[in-house]
């Protein structure tokens, strides 16, 4: 991919040899094993979303929290406004391509359990407290991300207009209710305001040689940290994880999961985000399409028994 070649040269990473594709979706992840670097290529999300991840990763590295680390010696992300393949025409309105480079972690194959996940959440949420302020992390904006995903879904045509209209209606309703609910959650003792990951499930914590490492930071920002605790509840009630998951998570986190994370606006917003991501990726393959249908069922019949969710 020409954008990766150019970005690698600009970042001073050098010859990277063959590239191995590890994920294709709203972002493409490619690994250069020869130099121990993973490239993330985005041409669907705004460059600002990628800049957010870079900024948060930099803050977390300075704080000592084990998170993914940037590679190279040039400011990131690298943004290409022009065609990256020589000879391609310039088409007005074409999305930019952003490339970011990350150190490739040495994975152990271990499973990150709920206690480890809770401990990682605790470390993350304490970052702002330890720094005595907002540590340069932007505000948490879940609805901006949800709207972006719904726009991607509309562009693919894999989800019906009626379903997208339903999700847009839910988005508007929750966005109105969010400020009061977030303010209320922020007053909960022990789980107030801090750095929120935004999608803190086991799939976004890597088991590495240096221990659990936090990944996928593009949603992160300062907000009510109770939002991150919703994932443990959803793991049990949507994904079918054992009921003991909650107790193990609480043991790792060191605080009980508050009512605001168990039901209401924060939980609905997180499940809406998960649904928006699913419909944005419904075109990838039949597995993603089935997952999108399962998550849409939750909004068609909120009081009914929706099919279990499977993809992280």
Q: Which domains does the chain have, with CATH numbers?
A: 16-45+69-103 (no CATH), 114-300 (3.90.1200.10)
Q: Give pLDDT, residue 81.
A: 73
Q: Which two tokens stand for residue 260?
A: 């605001």
Q: Give pLDDT, residue 35.
A: 87
Average pLDDT over residues 50-56: 90
Q: Give pLDDT, residue 165.
A: 98
Three-point CA angle 115, 276, 230, nearest 5°? 25
Instruction: Give the tens place of pLDDT for each residue, 121-179.
Output: 999 998 876 554 556 788 999 999 999 999 999 999 999 999 999 999 999 999 999 99
Tell me the C-alpha distance between 188 and 260, whole Å. Answer: 9
Q: Give the sign of the dihedral formed by CA 299, CA 290, CA 117, CA 221.
A: negative
Average pLDDT over residues 52-57: 91
Q: Give pLDDT, residue 120.
A: 95
The highest-confidence range among 2-16, 64-78, 172-186, by mean pLDDT, is 172-186
Average pLDDT over residues 196-200: 96
User: Which are the contacts of 303, defined by CB distance < 8 A and separation ≥ 6?
Assistant: none
Tell me the C-alpha distance between 11 and 6, whole Å. Answer: 9
Cα first-last separation, the chain: 27
Asked if pLDDT for residue 184 goes beyond 70, the answer is: yes
The highest-confidence range among 14-18, 95-99, 290-294, by mean pLDDT, is 290-294
Which range among 18-27, 191-200, 300-309 shows the weakest confidence by mean pLDDT? 18-27
Q: What average pLDDT does the structure give for the chain? A: 88
Pairwise pLDDT comparison (135 vs 65), residue with the higher score: 65
Which range among 74-88, 107-121, 188-202, 228-242 shows the weakest confidence by mean pLDDT? 74-88
**Distances, alpha carbon 98 to alpha carbons 21, 47, 89, 244, in Å:** 17, 6, 18, 41
The highest-confidence range among 21-30, 51-60, 187-196, 288-297, by mean pLDDT, is 288-297
CB 96: neighbour CB atoms within 10 A?
15
Tell me the C-alpha distance between 84 and 284, whole Å. Answer: 24
- For the entire predicted model, the pTM comes to 0.89
| Structure confidence at residue 42 as a pLDDT band (50, 70, 90) | confident
Instruction: Give the tens place of pLDDT for each residue, 248-258.
Output: 999 999 999 99
């Amino acid at each position: 991919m020409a954008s990766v070649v150019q970005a690698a040269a600009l970042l001073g990473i050098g010859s990277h040899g063959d590239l191995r594709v590890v994920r294709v979706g709203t972002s493409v992840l490619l690994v250069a094993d020869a130099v121990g670097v993973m490239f993330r290529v985005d041409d669907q999300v705004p460059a600002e979303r990628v800049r957010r991840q870079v900024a948060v990763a930099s803050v977390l590295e300075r704080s000592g929290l084990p998170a993914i680390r940037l590679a190279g010696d040039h400011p990131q992300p690298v943004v290409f406004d022009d065609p990256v393949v020589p000879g391609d025409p310039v088409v007005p309105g074409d999305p930019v391509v952003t490339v970011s480079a990350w150190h490739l972690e040495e994975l152990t194959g271990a499973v990150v359990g709920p206690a480890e996940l809770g401990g990682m959440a605790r470390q993350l949420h304490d970052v702002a407290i330890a720094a005595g302020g907002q540590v340069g992390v932007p505000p948490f904006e879940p609805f901006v991300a949800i709207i972006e995903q719904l726009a991607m879904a509309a562009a693919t045509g894999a989800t019906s207009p009626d379903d997208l209209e339903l999700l847009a209606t839910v988005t508007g309703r929750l966005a109105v209710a969010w400020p009061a609910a977030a303010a209320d959650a922020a007053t909960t003792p022990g789980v107030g305001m801090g750095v929120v990951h935004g999608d803190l499930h086991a799939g976004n914590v890597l088991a590495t040689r240096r221990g659990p490492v936090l990944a996928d930071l593009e949603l992160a920002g300062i907000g009510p940290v109770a939002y991150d605790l919703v994932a443990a509840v959803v793991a049990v009630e949507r994904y079918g994880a054992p009921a003991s998951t909650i107790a193990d998570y609480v043991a790792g986190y060191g605080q009980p999961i508050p009512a605001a994370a168990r039901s209401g606006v924060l939980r609905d917003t997180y499940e809406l985000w998960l649904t928006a991501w699913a419909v944005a990726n419904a075109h990838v393959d039949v597995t993603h399409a089935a997952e999108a249908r399962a998550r849409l069922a939750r909004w068609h019949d909120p009081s009914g028994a929706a099919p279990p969710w499977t993809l992280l």
